Amino acid sequence: MTTLGFVGLGAMGSRIATRLLAAGYPVRGTNRTAAKGTSLVVDHGLIWCSTPREAAETADVVFTMVRDDEALEAVATGPDGILAGLRAGSIWVDMSTVSPAKSRELAERVRAVGAELLDAPVSGSLPAAEDGTLAIMVGGSEAAFAQVEPILQELGACVTWIGENGQALLMKLAVNISLAEQMFAFSEGVLLAERGGIDRALAVNILTSSVVGSPMLKTRGPFVLDLPEQALFDVDLMRKDLHLALDAADSLGVPIPAAAVAKQLFTAASAMGYADRDMAVIYEVLAEMAGE
């Protein structure tokens, strides 16, 4: 059976690796913080590796799920990096949300060793990763995609090849600016209703049941009543993605003014101490700005 490597066993990566192990794939993995991999080793049979290079050396397909461009570069390069361990013919599937430019640049370096890099960012939160219902967008060689598609089907309900390297990441950023703007607008509406004397829970129910009640808002809208302790998508991740989207839009000459305003709000939320909270905390940020 295809041997897999996995680098980045955080909240999302660990859930994806668990599904791959449950599907019967041998998985060799590593993480910057080793403690995050303990339960995967003990309970699910992950083979622990001390470095990204070791995870990649014997893998037919190596997966990564890290936070940003800097983290991706860190696991890719150096004597212990993935590039040092890749073999000709192997495939690297990067599921991180990073800049399209960074992914394209890294794809060139991967091709230089005779391997292929696919950018495969996901849309969906932790529960979707657990039950295999993520939406996965893939950019890169269509032939390489065809080889890994059966593996990705274990992880996502919708797996779609988008185009060349970087295109899937651009599509993911297009999705995420809409998530941020929807949460922003929804929070404004709830706050306006509440400050006008309408019960907050009633306002949430009416808005999520109305024509603006997207699937995302039906899930996350109630969080303005009871914010979860564990973020499904934290403020700093969204702030990072809005920054990436604005950079991409600037390079393409595309105006995205609503995303620019949303980034300002998420930056304020981070400065106010909400960096690690779910993005639904934007309601609290607006309420604090409005005062008593």
Rounded-to-integer distance, Cα 141 and Cα 164, Å: 7
Compute the half-sphere exposure of residue 76: CA atoms within 13 Å on the CB side of its CA. 23
Six-digit token pair at 194?
């509440």
Q: What is the rounded radius of gyration, in angstroms, for the C-alpha atoms of the chain? A: 20
Q: What is the dihedral of CA 225, 228, 229, 232, to 10 degrees?
A: -140
Angle 107-110-112 (CA atoms, 0-180°, nearest 5)? 115
| 36 in active site | no
Six-digit token pair at 107?
């794809």
Angle 126-132-137 (CA atoms, 0-180°, nearest 5)? 85
Q: Are 282 and 265 in contact (CB under 8 A)?
A: yes
Residue 156's SS3 state is: strand
Among the options 172, 218, 240, 263, which is catalytic?
Answer: 172
Counted residue by residue, the chain has a size of 292
How many helices (H) and strands (E) the chain has is answered by 14, 9
Rounded-to-integer distance, Cα 117 and Cα 22, Å: 25
**Active-site residue set:** 172
